[in-house]
Structure 1
Amino acid sequence: MSDEPLQVSIKILEKEYRIACAQHEQEDLKASARLLDHRMREIRQNGRVIGTDRIAVMAALNIAHDLIQLQRAQPGLDPDAGRRLRELQERISMALANEPPAEQPAETPLAEPAEPLLDASNERV
């Protein structure tokens, strides 16, 4: 996987933006743009805030407030946890994709594996 920046096109309130980002961050950027677009549309529909700049500032304040509330609710949450969770999910998916399904007769109950299939005891979340 290349970390070379690529141009991603996103649309917020009918306006298109081209943003440079690493390929592995492309989906997160698109999800962030969808969230921002949704929040800005809610504020615009409310009708109390006029002007795209003011709507953007209000949306940013609301999202920042949500983030602070989330951080307070989970004070031990490591800021790098999201990235590490995604990497762990990718490793699990790759491990499951590369492992052939176990052949078990229908009448035989599944036995416990001698060793765990995935040892994530060294992973921090």
Structure 2
Amino acid sequence: MQDLMWQLKDIDALSVYITLLFAGAVFWFIREIIDAPMLAVFSLPALVIGGLLVPAFFRSEVIVLTPDQEANAAATCALGVLGALILMVAGKWLWLVYKERQVQRTKLAALQSQVFPEQPPSQ
């Protein structure tokens, strides 16, 4: 856990700016195009965290996507934001599948009709 904290401390400013740019673009997309402002607000921290954790992970595992440092920072931040977005979409989809199955399994109770109440049998 301490290693992760030290790695997060060493994140450069370029990675932070690129992550905020990508997360802001996804925030705008969710808010304007999908028309879900609350989902955009709640997803923004997850997008930023994903964008900052992936470069730290790639740096710790010595994974280099491109030899250029700026392009590598942009690519890893983009992968982090995209990964966080995919995880959120998958979680939302699984939640909807679960709720759909739950609604599908419910049994409706039989109700008596109030329009034509049953008459007692006449003798």
TM-score band, normalised by shorter chain? 0.3 to 0.5
Relative contact order, higher structure (CA 8 A, sep 6+): 2
Higher fraction of strand: 1
TM-score by length of 1: 0.34
Higher fraction of helix: 2
> Highest Rg: 1 or 2?
2
